[in-house]
Structure formats: structure tokens, C-alpha cells
């Protein structure tokens, strides 16, 4: 790059230097992988791992495509031959998706959680000297979403067996459930109609003060999916038991809008259901047109005179029955009476009932429930609603899993936990050196086990290592 050829803007200089540095980084990684592969080959158990030649590979990284060569080894276990790329297994190169590195996968997921697949592809392609299509981005999301979904099912099974591994302790757990309808496409549309409900559940231990009049929920976990109620309960309980020590929970407070599938989540006598204050208060304005009667009913509601409230609504419904001119008014009272009657036990907020909660610990405080509308938007609505977005059941589920992890600050931790190398057996019992499968077998139990430190001095020293030619 010669700056004096013409006048350059700083942006152009920055972009060219960035590409140059990425290119050098790609070369360094390729050289380093070759040196590590030589070292592994030198120290391997030669009786167990037979050298079957060199194979080339390419992996997409945040800096660009890294081309490198490494040896493939043949071993035999229980009478079956297996093939290993020891350097790939040792470094966890296949922890990503296909030829995409784990680090780049994380960048892709973070971008996709904010913007559509095409824009994410453009953004990621600008990271280095490479090109990723929106289909490639979509493939990464499906692969990672599948892994998260698999882990969620495992967590649900552990919760069912009372084997949850959560360590966070709280005496009171607050839960809120709600759903939002998303537009479907393709075969999902044919099977389930134009829309399906994405069920969302969150749980947290309380609130912490973040400003003069602002509070945030503490230790929040979330679960979402196009699930039937039974599957939703199992998945939600798995997410809770995987983070919280459920044996220490003495009381649960469940907040919902009155939907039957939400009330079905009341699992025992220590779970107290309350009707979401926003939906509870909004119902009067939605079903009652007379302003004076609205005020009267709201006063009864806010004073927790629920028995008198239901009797008053019933009286208004009865006096308007049979009058054709007041048919619409009658229907409104009838719907309001039904809504409140079906949620009679939850009309009074938990903190206004005659019940004693275990005291909060540390900086935690207890407040009024009702954060779900905001959470529905931040967890699902912002990314998955609007912009003419259409989803398949499978694709929507996978993205929703990643969105809930990202918005609760657990995306990187979750991906680190689930991106273990996948063990794949060769499809045929014997293969020639020219037909070694790209995916490797059970892993390497050889001489070197320690993770490779990542420091510049170590990299320089390792790249200087030379081994006797006749040793290989």
C-alpha cells in the first residue's frame, strides 16, 4: 500500500491495514497449526496411531480463511478402524460448525440476534478476507440452535429426576409467562396455520436498584419455544433447575395474563398465581364503555374488594340482558365477569395478600410483578416480529433459544459448554488414505493433554521448533 499514490481518506487506510493484519494473522495461524501437528506426530503413540498421510483443510475464522495441512492417523478399537486428525481434536477445531471456527460462530450468533440473516452476512463478511452467504449464516444458527435445544432437553430430564445442577440460591422465585404470535411460513404454515404462539417464560430472584427510580430483575433465566403446554413446563423447569438450586426455593410467585396454559404451570401449594396487573386493569377499559361505571369498578378493584366487584359486574350484566340496544354492553360485562371469575384467586397482587415471604438477602428487593410485556419485546419481539418476518417452527425455535441466552447474558457461557467435538464414526469399516472422512473419531488419548496457552512469546518459540526429518 502506497499512500502517496493519491490522497487517501483515513477510512481507506484503516480498512487496508486491517485487511493486511488479518492476512498476516491467517498465515501465522496456518504455520502454527502445522508446527503443532508436527509436534503431535513426533510424540504420538506410534503403536496406536498409524500415519496415513497428509490432508489439507480450510477453516473460516474471524480473520479470514486459514488453509493448513495436517496428518491423519488410523487406529483400531474393538476390531473397528477409526481415523483421527489429532491436531483438530486437541485444539477443538471442530467445535464450530463445519468449516467455521467456534469464535466466528459466536460472532455470527451475536450478530443474528440483532439483525436479519442477510445483514448479518454482510457484517460478518467484513470482519476478514472471506465471504459468508446468508444461507451459511442460517446454517450456523440452526446448528447452534439444535445444540442448545438438545441441552435444554437434557436439562428438562435432569429436572424431572430432581438432578438439576443449579447453584444459585434464593428463597423466593418470581416467574412470569406470556406469549406472542409469530407469522409462519412453508410447511409449518400448512400444518399450524398462518400464526403460532411463541411461549416465553422468565424467572428471577427479585430486583436490584440501579438508579433513583429504576430497578432491574436479578439472576434472570428465560425459556421460549413454539411448545405445547406440557413441553413448555418441562423446558422451563429444566432452565430453572439448571441455574437455581431448586431445593432451596421455598415459595414461587407466578404472574400471567390469565391464559389457561400459564395457570397450568402452578405445580404445587407453594406456587402462588396472580393475574398480571397490566392485563387485570386493562380489562375494565376494554370491556366497559360507561366512564362512570369504569371508575366505580376500578375503585373496587384497587381496594381489593373482589367479592363486591364480581357481584357488581354480574348486576350490570343482568340488567343489560335481553335488551337488543344494549347487547354490546351486555357482552362486555359478560366477558369481564368471565375473565375475573376465571382468575379470581389471582386478582389480588401477591404483596397485598395475607402471606409472609422469606426476607430478601443482600441488595435484593421485592416489587410489583409486571415486567413481561417488556421482556416479550426484548427477548422475542424486537428480532422476530415485524419486518415481514416469517418463520418455520424449527427455525423460529432455534433462534428463540439463542435470543433468550443472549438477553440473559448467558450466550457465550452456554456455547462454550455445548460446543464439544462431535464423535462421528466412519461410514465404512475400512478406508484408503485417499478416502479418509473429514470428521474424526473418538478423540485422542495420547501424550499431550494440556490446553495450549495463547501468548505471543509462546507462539514465537513454538514456530521455531524443528524436528529431525527422519523422525517422521
Please name which of 419, 445, 380 lies closest in space to residue 73, comparing C-alpha atoms. 445
Indicate the pLDDT class of residue 469, thresholds 50, 70 and 90: very low
12 or 241: which carries more pLDDT confidence? 241
pTM of the model: 0.80
Euclidean distance between CA atoms 107 and 125, whole angstroms = 11
What lies within 8 Å, CB to CB, of 21 at 6+ separation is none
- Percentages helix, strand, coil for the chain (3-state, rounded to 5) are 50, 20, 30
Residues 71 and 37: their CA atoms lie apart, in Å, by: 7
Strands (E), 131-279: 172-183, 195-204, 206-209, 215-218, 221-225, 251-256, 271-275
pLDDT at 96: 76
Q: In sequence order, which ranges of 79-133 are alpha helices (DSSP H)?
A: 86-91, 102-112, 117-125
Q: What value does the mean pLDDT take over residues 452-456?
A: 46
The SS3 of residue 219 is: coil
Q: Quick: pLDDT tens for 397-442.
A: 999 999 999 999 988 888 777 765 444 333 333 334 444 444 444 4
Backbone angles phi, psi at 296, to 5 degrees: -65, -45
- Eight-state DSSP code of residue 359: P
- Give the phi and the psi of residue 425 in degrees, each rounded to 5: -75, 145
DSSP 97: B
Helices (H), 6-133: 10-43, 86-91, 102-112, 117-125
- Distance, C-alpha 315 to centroid of its chain: 49
Do 83 and 436 touch, CB atoms closer than 8 A? Answer: yes
Angle between helices 134-160 and 229-243 (to 10 degrees): 80
pLDDT for res 471: 42
Write out pLDDT tens, residues 210-234.
Answer: 988 899 999 999 999 999 999 999 9
pLDDT, residue 468, reads 47
pLDDT, the chain, mean: 86
Q: Per DSSP, what are the bridge partners of residue 223? A: 201
**131 falls in which pLDDT band (50, 70, 90)?**
confident
Instruction: Provide the grid cell at 187.
Output: 410447511
> Is 60 exceeded by the pLDDT of residue 99?
yes
Strands of 45-194, DSSP E? 50-61, 64-77, 80-84, 172-183
Question: Rounded to a whole number, what is the largest CA-CA distance in the chain?
Answer: 103
Neighbours of 316 (CB within 10 A): 23
Sign of CA dihedral 121, 124, 126, 132: negative
- The C-alpha atoms of residue 386 and residue 227 are separated, in whole angstroms, by 21
Cα angle: 49, vertex 54, 58; to 5 degrees = 115
Q: Which helix (H) or strand (E) holds 402?
A: helix 393-407
Amino acid at each position: 500500500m502506497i499512500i502517496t499514490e493519491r490522497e487517501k481518506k483515513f477510512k481507506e487506510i484503516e480498512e487496508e491495514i486491517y485487511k493486511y493484519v488479518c492476512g498476516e494473522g491467517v498465515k501465522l495461524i496456518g504455520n502454527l497449526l502445522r508446527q503443532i501437528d508436527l509436534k503431535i506426530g513426533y510424540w504420538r503413540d506410534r503403536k496406536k496411531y498409524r500415519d496415513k498421510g497428509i490432508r489439507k483443510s480450510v477453516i473460516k475464522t474471524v480473520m479470514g480463511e486459514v488453509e493448513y495441512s495436517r496428518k491423519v492417523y488410523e487406529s483400531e478399537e474393538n476390531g473397528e478402524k477409526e481415523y483421527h486428525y489429532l491436531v483438530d481434536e486437541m485444539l477443538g477445531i471442530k467445535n464450530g460448525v463445519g468449516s467455521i471456527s467456534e469464535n466466528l460462530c459466536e460472532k455470527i450468533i451475536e450478530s443474528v440476534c440483532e439483525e436479519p440473516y442477510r445483514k448479518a452476512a454482510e457484517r460478518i463478511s467484513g470482519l476478514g478476507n472471506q465471504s459468508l452467504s446468508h444461507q451459511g449464516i442460517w446454517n450456523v444458527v440452526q446448528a447452534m440452535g439444535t445444540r442448545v435445544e438438545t441441552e435444554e432437553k437434557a436439562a428438562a430430564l435432569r429436572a424431572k429426576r430432581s438432578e438439576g445442577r443449579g447453584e444459585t440460591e434464593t428463597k423466593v422465585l418470581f416467574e412470569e409467562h406470556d406469549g406472542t404470535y409469530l407469522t409462519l411460513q412453508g410447511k409449518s404454515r400448512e400444518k399450524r396455520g398462518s400464526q403460532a404462539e411463541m411461549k416465553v417464560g422468565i424467572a428471577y430472584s427479585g430486583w436490584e436498584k440501579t438508579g433513583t427510580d429504576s430497578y432491574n430483575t436479578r439472576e434472570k433465566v428465560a425459556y421460549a419455544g413454539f411448545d405445547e403446554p406440557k413441553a413448555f413446563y418441562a423446558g422451563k423447569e429444566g432452565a430453572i433447575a439448571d441455574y437455581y438450586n431448586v431445593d432451596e426455593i421455598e415459595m414461587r410467585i407466578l404472574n400471567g395474563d390469565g391464559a389457561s396454559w400459564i395457570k397450568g404451570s402452578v405445580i404445587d401449594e407453594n406456587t402462588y398465581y396472580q393475574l398480571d396487573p397490566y392485563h387485570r386493569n386493562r380489562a375494565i377499559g376494554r370491556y366497559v364503555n360507561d366512564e362512570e361505571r369504569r371508575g366505580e369498578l376500578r375503585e373496587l378493584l384497587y381496594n381489593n374488594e373482589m367479592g363486591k366487584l364480581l357481584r357488581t359486574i354480574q348486576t350490570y350484566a343482568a340488567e343489560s340482558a335481553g335488551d337488543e340496544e344494549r347487547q354490546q354492553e351486555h357482552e362486555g360485562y359478560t366477558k369481564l365477569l368471565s375473565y375475573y371469575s376465571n382468575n379470581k384467586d389471582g386478582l389480588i397482587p401477591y404483596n397485598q395478600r395475607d402471606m409472609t415471604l422469606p426476607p430478601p438477602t443482600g441488595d435484593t428487593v421485592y416489587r410489583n410483578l409486571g415486567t413481561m410485556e417488556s421482556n416479550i419485546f426484548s427477548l422475542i419481539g424486537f428480532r422476530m416480529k415485524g419486518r415481514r418476518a416469517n418463520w418455520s417452527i424449527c427455525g423460529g425455535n432455534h433462534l428463540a433459544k439463542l435470543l433468550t441466552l443472549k438477553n440473559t447474558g448467558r450466550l457465550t457461557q452456554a456455547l462454550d459448554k455445548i460446543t464439544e467435538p462431535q464423535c462421528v464414526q466412519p461410514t465404512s469399516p475400512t478406508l484408503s488414505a485417499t478416502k479418509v472422512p473429514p470428521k474424526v473419531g473418538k478423540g485422542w488419548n495420547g501424550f499431550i493433554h494440556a490446553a495450549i496457552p495463547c501468548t505471543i512469546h509462546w507462539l514465537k518459540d513454538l514456530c521455531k521448533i524443528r524436528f529431525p526429518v527422519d523422525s517422521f
